[in-house]
A = this chain, B = another copy of it.
Amino acid sequence: MQSIATPRREMTHAPMVAAAVPPQMASATSSLDHVGVVITVGREQPLFFEGDAAECYYKVVKGAVRSCKLLADGRRHIGDFFFADDFIGLDAGETYSFAGEAVMPTTLIRYSRRKVDALAAHDPRVAKSFVEIMRTSLCAAHDRMALLGRMNAMERIASFLLNLADRATDAHIDLPMTRTDIGDYLGLTMETVSRAFSQLKHDGIIEQRSVHEVAIADRDALEALAEAA
């Protein structure tokens, strides 16, 4: 009875907060399917705004979503990126505490929160999978706080890339988001992000097929740069 372990994602260099549904939960969450509706959202389009009444959960099918918070003077923080299989909204109270926006054209399943919560209330398997998602998110959030609080620019970028690499299916990493997005996610400016990428490329640690696609050429070196974690 493995109530706790999440084989799916390693936490070694892993401050990625998004929580995919763990594989052993697949059957449980698939019971949600009949309350979900498939929707598509265009690039840079909002899913919901910060402060909106939180009436839906979402699961990403294809594409990428970011969660954003805006400070009073317009500074932006990206809380997380959500990719295929990631579940969005479990942490909401009455309202969403962040905006959800599509980074690229994205397909999602939208669930009525009311229905799903009711379903979870008398299906312990569903409830448990939700708790597990929250638990994983919480650990990842703590890892990312340490990253934001204590790592320098290159360490943050290296951790970020390793993180994405762990999620990726093949050798290359998709970066559907802009450099500004990455900066807002890592607590850096676009320029600092760009310089870090240039440095990694110059040092032969990554290769860049295009702006939005990189491959790790020297994983050991990248891990050394991120070793702080």
Residues of chain A at the chain B interface (Cβ within 8 Å): 3-6, 11, 67, 69, 71-73, 75-77, 79, 90-94, 97-98, 117, 121, 124, 127, 130-131, 134-135, 137-139, 141-146, 148-151, 184-187, 227-229
Contact = CB atoms under 8 A, between A and B. Distances in A.
A92 B132 CA distance: 10
Contact of A227 (B3, B6, B72, B229): B72
A5 B75 CA distance: 27
A66 to B, nearest CB: 13
A97 B142 contact: yes
Contacts of A143: 69, 97
Contacts of A146: 69, 71, 77, 79
9 contacts: A71-B150, A71-B228, A93-B135, A131-B131, A144-B145, A145-B145, A148-B149, A149-B186, A150-B187
A134 B128 CA distance: 13
